[in-house]
Amino acid sequence: MSASAPSDLPLLDAAQPASARPAPLWRRLIAFTLDTTLLGAIGYGVGMLLFDWVVGLGLAARLIGLVLALGYFGLADSRLTGGRSFGKRLLGLAVVGPDGAPLSIGAATLRALVLMAPVILNDFDLDEMSPLITGLWSFLVIGVGLSLLYLVLFNRPTRQSLHDLVVGARVIDVNPAPAPTPTPTPAPALPGRPLRLVHRIVVGVLCAVSIGYGLVLPSLVESSVRLSELLVVRNAVRENPAVRDATVARRWQKTTDRDEASESIVITAVVRQWPADPEAAARDIAGMVLKQYPQLVGERPLIVKVVIEFNLGIANYSKSQGIETSAATWPKAEPLRS
């Protein structure tokens, strides 16, 4: 069997040129979707296997998701696999460094950190956080996240995004090229190109605006009377020893028979362990709120949900049961349908 005509796509090595064709955007997106789906399945399995422990971690469970994501992409996009994760291998793509060789494990892990930080930290609870923390969160999620999206869409022709530029990586097409037509000279190689000034400016503005937004976010919340009222109720629900976390929100929903929206108060209590009678637990919370904060509820419907959940950033699980009542109908309450 000739070594020059393998049946499978070859692994990349340092002898291969760094000027291979950039991967098409649509194939990169499909490969990333496949990789994150596999990663999510792994995270879900870990969460269900260690359910009680993961639930007890609360927000810290995101660290498990981060470790799994860095481990997956740090190994799967490194020289151990020829720079070809599960999704990239199926789509005929590979990650290479400036020399055309696959990345080291350290470089692949750093690249994964920049890529996955906005995903892992998204939908984070920032209540009562200092401006320094909210500013850092806003930079990582909004600034870095929008920069990643902007560069992969508009940084042509290499399509290098922020996580690629940090380590000098490129995602290339390693599918066998079609048979060339006879030409006097071969097609020119694609050289590495510095990031254009306009892209640098856009990324800088996105990051600066995101930091500024994060720094003023706590003061915006404190200055809102409507939000402050909800935070007071939320803190009271959190004092329940069975509750790990809670949210209180106003919800508007259009009625079917009238072209207008009705407002309700929705309380979500995330419990440490699933209660033997979740409906009774929801009733206890509803009774406390109606007794201590009648002015907040007023004539609106009050919805209380008891939830047990975990969120790793890459995978999540949630189970809930609740009731709907009001000051006028209490202690009568209707169970919510899941």
Which residues in the chain show pLDDT less than 50?
A: 1-19, 183-190
Q: Under CATH, what is the fold of the domain 225-335?
A: GMP Synthetase; Chain A, domain 3 (3.30.300)
Torsion of CA 107, 109, 114, 117, to 10 degrees: -170
Edge-first strand order for the sheet with 261-271 is 243-254, 261-271, 302-311, 316-325, 334-335
Please report the pLDDT score of residue 338 as a whole number.
Answer: 57
Please report the pLDDT score of residue 177 as a whole number.
Answer: 55
Contact predicate 119/189, CB 8 Å: no
Tell me the pTM.
Answer: 0.82
Please report the pLDDT score of residue 254 as a whole number.
Answer: 67
Tell me how far the alpha carbon of residue 85 is from its chain's centroid: 20
Interatomic CA distance for residues 144 and 309, integer angstroms: 27
* Cβ-based neighbours of 180, under 8 Å, separated by 6 or more: 186, 187
Please report the pLDDT score of residue 260 as a whole number.
Answer: 67
What tens digit of pLDDT does each residue of 243-271 get? 999 999 888 876 555 566 788 999 999 99
* Cβ-based neighbours of 183, under 8 Å, separated by 6 or more: none
For 4, phi and psi rounded to 5 degrees? -85, 0
Contact predicate 334/325, CB 8 Å: yes
Domain borders along the chain are 25-175+195-222, 225-335
